[in-house]
Chains A and B, each alone.
Chain A
Amino acid sequence: QVTLRESGPALVKPTQTLTLTCTFSGFSLSTDGMCVTWIRQPPGKALEWLARIDWDDNKYYSKSLKTRLTISKDTSRNQVVLTLTNMDLVDTATYYCARIVVSPIVSAFHVWGPGTMVTVSS
């Protein structure tokens, strides 16, 4: 059974760097075709895709947030880490991670974590 869970601070101050961890089980990020992605959702608003990291360490980022985002993986610990620098009030959101499989064909986001709410406030 594939599961994912997000963790990180519930509150950050403006200008700080947010670090979130996605801890997963039921698959390995060293297996061909496995990927983990991050999505966020401000309160009452739509979903926004943020970043993806692949088994071969390829990384993809949202164009609008590319300069502030970094995604990395620790395969031995089954974790993916997302950092977002220079946090602002508009970054207040629930942050989700999800698994994607891209081989033999790309999959939709079949499995999501429950999400973690991050509030930006001074």
Chain B
Amino acid sequence: EIVLTQSPGTLSLSPGERATLSCRASQSVISSFLAWYQQKPGQAPRLLIYGAANRATGIPDRFSGSGSGTDFTLTISRLEPEDFAVYYCQQYGDSPPYSFGQGTKLEIK
């Protein structure tokens, strides 16, 4: 089973700044089946990025994903107040089991 490790655990930034979140896999993620989700308190996760670099429907272009193999990155180019939340990466290859990272909390500095 692939283990995903996210860093940092907490990221403190100000609105307008750039955020860079990392996700490292214990083995290569097949066909870049890597997704990023945003979760706000009391809400279900929302898909942001799939296939490592594709934005989901309705996701603003300030969110971008990159990477392949075992190293992936979520970048938020200019933070808006509504972007402060917890972010999870996930691998979702052809067959389960699937796995999630432990999350990065993006908080207002």
Contacts and interface: CB of A to CB of B under 8 A. Distances in A.
Interface of A is mostly: loop
A46 B6 CA distance: 11
Contact of B45 (A47, A62, A100, A106): A47
Given A63-B1, A107-B50, A112-B45, A52 B92 contact: no
B60 interface: no
Contacts of A114: 43-44
B85 interface: no
B88 A112 contact: no
A60 B96 contact: yes
Interface string B84-108: 0000101011111111111100000
Contacts, number: 64
A60 B37 CA distance: 22
Interface residues of A, number: 23
Given A46-B102, A63-B1, A113-B44, A108 B50 contact: yes
B45 to A, nearest CB: 6
A-B pairs, 6 with minimum CB distance = A108-B35, A108-B50, A60-B96, A112-B44, A49-B98, A47-B100
Interface of B: 1, 31, 33, 35, 37, 43-47, 50-51, 56-57, 88, 90, 92-103
Given A47-B100, A52-B98, A114-B43, 13 more contacts: A37-B98, A46-B101, A48-B100, A49-B97, A60-B97, A63-B97, A100-B92, A106-B94, A108-B56, A109-B35, A109-B37, A112-B44, A112-B46
